[in-house]
Amino acid sequence: MLSIKNLHASIGDKEILKGINLEVKAGEIHAIMGPNGAGKSTLASIIAGNENYEVTGGEISLDGEDLAELAPEERAHKGVFLSFQYPVEIPGVSVTNFMRTAINETRKANGQDEMPANEMLKLIREKSELLEIDRKFLSRSLNEGFSGGEKKRNEIFQMAMLEPKLAILDETDSGLDIDALRIVANGVNKLKSDKNAIVVITHYQRLLDYIVPDFVHVLYNGKIVKSGGKELAHELEEKGYDWIKQEQEA
């Protein structure tokens, strides 16, 4: 589904990604771990099409289609979803209205009619129940005055609404208490199918107890330096990232 080949990217003069290779197939969950500053969030942003970064080499494709020339919204229309580490506040636009706009723009781009209002309401009800979100919450302005946990839960609610092909969860566990973490993870697991794929970006192993990855990759200094199964996450939890750093510098 997602294929990244020898990806190089920089911001200004600073090279952040130095040759990433990653293959994610439908039905898989991949975890990308690594110390702060390794380039994890940059990688997520670049897959989603953030134009602040310059791709200087390599390629990213989704189901064989090169994403290089596509704007962020075009990538979204093709099924790429990024759960933000720091979701943005939009005063005056309710969660419901924002979702309605997002869904209908996506449908329009894919040559479909707008979703009928009753269908939309049904979908909202279903997905808000999945994430145990109070209906009142949905009429509040998007992310405005939300706690860290509420913001993250709202991100996964949006993911549930949009049903993406490829979901990238960037530090979704940060700011979540243990109960919220369980709800969010449960939501993600229910959304998982053999037709979609999930990339979990995290600093800690904690989230991976709930969203169990098929593959774990360690990103360090702009490169994937180690890949393995879920046991790699436990090893990192025990030994910390210094072990990787030493190995790399040796």
Partner 1 sequence: MDLKEKLVSSFMAFEERVDVHSELHDVRTAALKNFENKGFPSKKEEAWKYTSLNAILKNDFTVFPKQENTVQYSDVKKYFLHEIDSYKVVFIDGIFSSHLSATTHEGIDVCLMSSVLNKPKYKEVIDTYFNQIANKEESLTSLNTAFANEGAYINIPKNKVADKPIEIMYFSTGSEAALLVQPRNLIIVGENANVQIIERHQSLNENAVLTNAVTEIFAEKRAIVDHYKIQNDNLTANLIDNTYVSQKEESSVAVNTFCFGGNLTRNNLNFYHFGEHIVSYLNGVTIIGEKQHVDHYTLVQHATPNCESHQDYKGIFSDRATGVFNGKIYVEKEAQKTNAFQKSNNILLSDKATINAKPQLEIFADDVKCSHGCTIGQLDETAMFYMQQRGIPQKEAKALLMYAFTNNVIESIKIPELKQRITKLIASKLGVKMGFDL
67 SS3 class: coil
Report the residue from 88, 136, 145, 194 that binds partner 1 according to the rule CB under 8 A: 88
Residues 131 and 156: beta-carbon distance below 8 Å: yes
Alpha-carbon gap, residue 70 to 183, rounded angstroms? 33
- Residue 234 is inside which H or E element, if any? helix 231-239
Report the residue from 93, 123, 130, 212 that binds partner 1 according to the rule CB under 8 A: 93
- Residue 73 is inside which H or E element, if any? helix 72-77
Interaction of residue 156 with partner 1, rule CB under 8 A? no
Whose Cβ is closer to partner 1: residue 45's or residue 205's? Answer: 45
**Which range, of 97-105, 191-199, 208-216, 227-235, touches partner 1 by CB under 8 A?**
97-105
Cβ-based neighbours of 239, under 8 Å, separated by 6 or more:
none
Count CB atoms within 10 A of the CB of residue 134: 8
Interaction of residue 97 with partner 1, rule CB under 8 A? yes
Q: Let me know how many helices (H) and strands (E) the chain has, helices first.
A: 9, 12
Contacts with partner 1: how many residues (CB under 8 A)? 37
**Which range, of 95-103, 178-186, 191-199, 208-216, touches partner 1 by CB under 8 A?**
95-103
Report the residue from 10, 21, 61, 104 that binds partner 1 according to the rule CB under 8 A: 104
CA dihedral 142, 148, 150, 154 (to 10 degrees): 60
Interaction of residue 205 with partner 1, rule CB under 8 A? no
Report the residue from 7, 9, 67, 82 that binds partner 1 according to the rule CB under 8 A: 82
Whose Cβ is closer to partner 1: residue 158's or residue 205's? Answer: 158
Interaction of residue 52 with partner 1, rule CB under 8 A? yes
Interaction of residue 145 with partner 1, rule CB under 8 A? no
Q: State how far the alpha carbon of 28 is from the alpha carbons of 5, 83, 241, in Å.
A: 18, 17, 25
Residues 165 and 82: beta-carbon distance below 8 Å: no
Whose Cβ is closer to partner 1: residue 82's or residue 180's? Answer: 82
Positions in the binding site for partner 1 (CB under 8 A)? 45, 48-52, 71-73, 75-77, 80-82, 84, 86-88, 90-93, 97-98, 100-106, 109, 114, 141, 158, 162
